[in-house]
Amino acid sequence: MNGLEVQVIPKKLVYENEGYFVYGCVTSKKDRHKVEYNKWGNFTITGENFPELNLDREYTMVLREDTKAKFPNSYIVVKFGQISIDDPSDQWKYLKSIVTPIQYGEIKNVYVEDKDKIIDIIRDDKFDFNSVKGYGESTYELLKKTVEKNIEKSLALGYFSQFGMSMNAVNKIVDRYGSSENAIAKFKENPYLLTTISGFGFIKVDGYAMKSGVKKDSIFRIQSCIMYVLDEASNNGDTWMNKKALLNKLAGILELTTSVVEPVLEDMSGEKIINIDNRYGLYSNYSKEDFIATKIIEMNSRTSDDKLFKIPDSTISEFEDENNIELAQEQIDFIKSFENTSVSFLIGSAGSGKSMLMKLIIKHAKKNKLSFKLLSPTGKASKVLKNYTGEHAHTIHKEIVINNAKESLIESDIIIVDEASMCDISVLTEFFSNLGNVSKIVFVGDDSQIPSVGAGNFLYDCIHSGVLDIKKLNKVFRQKEGGILDVATKIRQGEKFINTTYVGRRVLGKNCVVDTTFNNTESKVLETYKKLYNSGKWALDDIVVLTPTNKGKLGTVNINSGIQKIVNPPSHMKSELKVGDITLREGDLVMNTVNDYKAELWIENEEARKFLGKDVPSTEIFNGESGIIHYINNDEKYIVVDIEGKLVKFDSSSVRDRIIHAWCMTIHKVQGSQFKIGILLADKSSTFQLNANLLYTGVSRFQEYLLILGQSKTINISLTKFANLKRNCFLQELLQEKSLQS
């Protein structure tokens, strides 16, 4: 291979965009003569097959001068080799890259940097841990394990980097297969095995496989693509695809004819793939829907004459007097059906009185010493539920964790599950799998909300099955007050709340304003946010901007960048961490997007952290919880977020996958959440994405004040488009089939 073999030391990340890296580097002393430095005292490297590098670590590379580069002294990485640890200086540089600065300093106090081969000393068990401050036998064993693990991974890095894999990717592969040798062997056997590892989608792996010489019509390739397409359908909510659509999709991605693909599809049916009347889906999804249907019909087939669940008129009257209300007939109808039904569905829009009925059931339960549990699919939704009812509420998963810790199932007289439209089939399978003795379940939801992010369409399928007890609340209370609730109701019904030709600023009720002079610029959004923020009336996480999209001038990325300059501008006192196109800064408002029941708590004191080792305490954090970035460690690439007083540590992969700015978010991201005030964008640039359901979901998130920025025409066009909430799922017909069988 043509080029110069050089020991390269990356010193600075010059540029990064979607996996494309440019580094400013120097060489080892012995290779200084091989490359030309620029006026800044370094040279730059890049290349197609090029991983993310650790700064100050030495790598073996084959370089070729980049004759097309804009700047002189630029080189292309032709081949990426193993880490060099031949001499003492190499070994100390290597050690520095895998331990903390404090640990490195303490080891230097005992061993001589330019003399001792420190890595060899550690690997040969000649390391005197008793002489090094902060080290004991267990700490040393952990250090040795880390050293050996990283050195061992260098073999895999040298092999996989030729296909363009990053260092993080290589680490994941080696961790999965236990060693570099096994990882390389598995890849050579079938590259598409990598798709079973988190972060390795089919498209990425297919790129690696093609570079390694895999043929287009490889059976492994076709099988993997089938799983990928069906999994993508699942991510979009569908649990099946019809045969024609599936084959056409596969043929397009694989660049093969359907005649080549079809036999492989047929051979896979019955194992990981299910085929029912030429509808193909993942067997894992089908089994979940079948299980959910079975459990619901089984539970609903029970008969009970337990009078304890009958809510007497006296309790209803007492409740009405306490809350200064009069229940509507449809609310009374639900209460009367509640006593005779094991699985009930309470459906209604914002302001229809669902929370009042939940409170009434709770009042009755307490009065009759009946046990009850309040659950929701997300952490944010459970907090909203708690605020509505004044009672403790958990996520479904947390309730399961609590009971698993006690080695027991979930048992209760009554379980209320709120925000049922957000429940996907995975959550519900987990829920029903962990149910013990439960008398009543009430699923509460809004059928105009956008469906769950995950696979399935639980609420819709249950409502339209025709075999379950569905009670729908159509009357909206307090609508006559106007404002947010009135606007939400009108949207739900497809009614205009502003004339199509109106241009101006209109106040609707006490708490809603529509400004149709908006001209598709972020400046208006930022000015308005600044006024709300500077008023001092609301906390930072009380204010939010909602938009249909992440991209563009009015997308979350750009708007968050603008708000960041207002509320948390750059400062030499604040550390920053660049993640893709986003800069995170100490003091930023961010949101966690994944439920994590063993999130690592950050211990500020270094000595305490070393003492605790693997026993660092953990905590629970939930999807939708927001917090302020407390600390950023650029050396070790992690951030610490203050979430309601808990300092939670997120490592580099978690930051990339789970942390987003929370000043501006997509409407999809805030399902189940409530905010005091904010701005909703309904601009012509989002005409394609906007529909009545999305607009309704956005408007109904706010409690005290809402400003809608957009154009009258755009808003009214969205009111004519109701999303087809039906998805391609098996649950509805499974409920019908099992009901006939019961």
| Of 340, 330, 352, nearest in space to 469 by CA | 340
- Residue-by-residue DSSP string for 661-721: ESSEEETGGGTT--EEEEEEEE-GGGTTT--HHHHHHHHTTEEEEEEEEE-HHHHHHHHT-
In the numeric block, which tokens belong to residue 608?
């305490």
pTM equals 0.77
Write down the H helix ranges in 161-218. Answer: 167-177, 180-189, 202-212
DSSP assignment, residue 269?
A: B
Alpha-carbon distances of 80 from 19, 76, 177, 200, rounded to whole Å: 16, 11, 22, 21
Burial code (b: 16+ CB inside 10 Å, e: under 16) for 301-311 equals eeeeeeeebeb
Among the residue ranges 153-162, 251-260, 505-514, 712-721, the one predicted with the least confidence is: 153-162
Among the residue ranges 10-24, 70-84, 502-516, the one predicted with the least confidence is: 70-84
Question: Confidence band (pLDDT; 50, 70, 90) for 56?
Answer: confident
Q: Which helix (H) or strand (E) holds 638?
A: strand 638-643
pLDDT over 90 percentage in the chain: 54
Asked if 6 and 35 count as a contact pair (C-beta separation under 8 A), the reply is yes
Mean pLDDT of 520-547: 91
Q: What pLDDT sits at residue 1?
A: 45
| Of 260, 262, 235, 234, nearest in space to 246 by CA | 262
**Cα separation of 154 and 59, whole Å?**
10
Radius of gyration of the chain (CA): 30
In the numeric block, which tokens belong to residue 619?
């905590």
Among the residue ranges 137-151, 430-444, 567-581, 680-694, the one predicted with the least confidence is: 137-151
Phi, psi of 10 (to 5 degrees): -65, 130
CB atoms within 10 A of CB 216: 12
In the numeric block, which tokens belong to residue 721?
């488009």
Q: What pLDDT sits at residue 567?
A: 94
- Residue-by-residue DSSP string for 524-565: HHHHHHHHHHHT-SS-GGGEEEEES-SSSTTSHHHHHHHHHH
690 CA to centre of own chain = 22
Q: What pLDDT sits at residue 18?
A: 57
Mean pLDDT of 333-359: 92
Phi, psi of 353 (to 5 degrees): 95, 20
Is pLDDT larger for residue 301 or for residue 82?
301
Say whether pLDDT at 77 is over 60.
Answer: yes
Mean pLDDT of 2-9: 83
Phi, psi of 619 (to 5 degrees): -150, 175
Q: What pLDDT sits at residue 527?
A: 94
**Cα separation of 529 and 48, whole Å?**
42
Which value, to the nearest 10 degrees, does the dihedral of the CA atoms of residues 194, 197, 201, 206 take? -10
**Cα separation of 411 and 403, whole Å?**
9
Say whether pLDDT at 585 is over 80.
Answer: yes
Is pLDDT larger for residue 508 or for residue 20?
508
In the numeric block, which tokens belong to residue 620?
């629970």
DSSP assignment, residue 84?
A: P
The tens digit of pLDDT for each residue in 187-239 reads 999 999 999 998 788 999 999 999 899 999 999 999 999 999 999 999 889 99
The tens digit of pLDDT for each residue in 363-389 reads 999 999 999 999 998 877 888 888 889
Q: Which helix (H) or strand (E) holds 45?
A: strand 43-46
Is pLDDT larger for residue 288 or for residue 478?
288
Among the residue ranges 19-23, 79-83, 350-354, the one predicted with the least confidence is: 79-83
**Cα separation of 363 and 29, whole Å?**
78
Question: Confidence band (pLDDT; 50, 70, 90) for 655?
Answer: confident
| Residue whose structure tokens are 């700015």 | 661
What amino acid occupies position 2?
N
DSSP assignment, residue 403?
A: H
Say whether pLDDT at 646 is over 70.
Answer: yes
Q: What pLDDT sits at residue 501?
A: 92
| Of 652, 584, 650, nearest in space to 618 by CA | 650
Say whether pLDDT at 483 is over 50.
Answer: yes
Q: What pLDDT sits at residue 158?
A: 74
Among the residue ranges 81-85, 212-216, 403-407, the one predicted with the least confidence is: 81-85
**Cα separation of 112 and 272, whole Å?**
58
Angle at 475 between CA 471 and CA 480, to 5 degrees: 160
**Cα separation of 69 and 76, whole Å?**
10
**Cα separation of 731 and 457, whole Å?**
8
Strand order in the sheet with 410-417: 394-395, 372-376, 410-417, 435-445, 343-348, 469-473
Q: What pLDDT sits at residue 124?
A: 87
Question: Confidence band (pLDDT; 50, 70, 90) for 610?
Answer: low
If you average pLDDT over every residue of the chain, what do you get?
88
Say whether pLDDT at 556 is over 90.
Answer: yes
Asked if 465 and 736 count as a contact pair (C-beta separation under 8 A), the reply is yes
Reduced to 3 states (helix: H, G, I; strand: E, B; else coil), residue 8 is strand
Mean pLDDT of 621-650: 87
Asked if 628 and 523 count as a contact pair (C-beta separation under 8 A), the reply is no
Q: What pLDDT sits at residue 85?
A: 67
DSSP assignment, residue 440?
A: E
Q: What is the SS3 string spanning 570-621? A: CCCCCCEEEECCEEEECCCEEEECCCEEEEEECCCCHHHHHHHHHHCCEEEE
**Cα separation of 450 and 666, whole Å?**
13
